[in-house]
Amino acid sequence: MTWVVTQLCKDNVDTACVAECPVDCFYKPTGDDYSKMLYISPDECIDCGACEPACPWEAIFQDDSVPEVFSDDIELNAKCDEDRDNFETAENDPDTHKPSPEEVTANKEKHGYS
Ligand code: SF4
Ligand code: SF4
């Protein structure tokens, strides 16, 4: 099992999840070939679940619980293993924006998930 970052992370890359990961398996794209969000390596994730409650945008799901609207994100996350030359390890940025509940809801609606 692995965990998956969904499109809800896009434009909201606050990296709050990164500090919780014991194996540093969050990656970010280095160029413009991939969406500007974080990616979890399915090869490296140890299925601990520590990142999920840390995500203020509720963007992280276990792979068997990814909402249908985000199903393509399972394969997308795996790109950080398959195309590692276009990714680098994500680092935690302590200047994180804490979204309001209204912002979290609006972001979900923007991506067709509510
Ligand atoms: S489930 Fe655990 S190992 Fe996997 S990405 Fe989240 S914090 Fe890292
Ligand atoms: S905490 Fe959530 S929204 Fe923030 S970078 Fe991590 S996955 Fe993306």
pLDDT at 114: 81
Ordered domains of the chain (ranges, CATH)? 3-110 (3.30.70.20)
pLDDT by residue (tens digit) across 47-83? 999 999 999 999 999 999 999 999 999 999 999 999 9
Measured from the CB, is residue 40 less than 6 Å from ligand 1?
yes
Q: Is the CB of 5 under 6 A from ligand 1?
A: no
Helix (H) or strand (E) holding 46: none
* Structure confidence at residue 52 (pLDDT): 98
- The average pLDDT across 84-100 equals 88
Give residues (CB < 6 A) around ligand 2.
5, 9, 12-17, 38, 55, 57, 59-60
Mean pLDDT value across residues 35-48: 97
The pTM of the full predicted model, rounded to 2 decimals, is 0.96
First to last CA, the chain: 25
Burial class (CB in 10 A: 0-12, 13-18, 19+), 41: buried
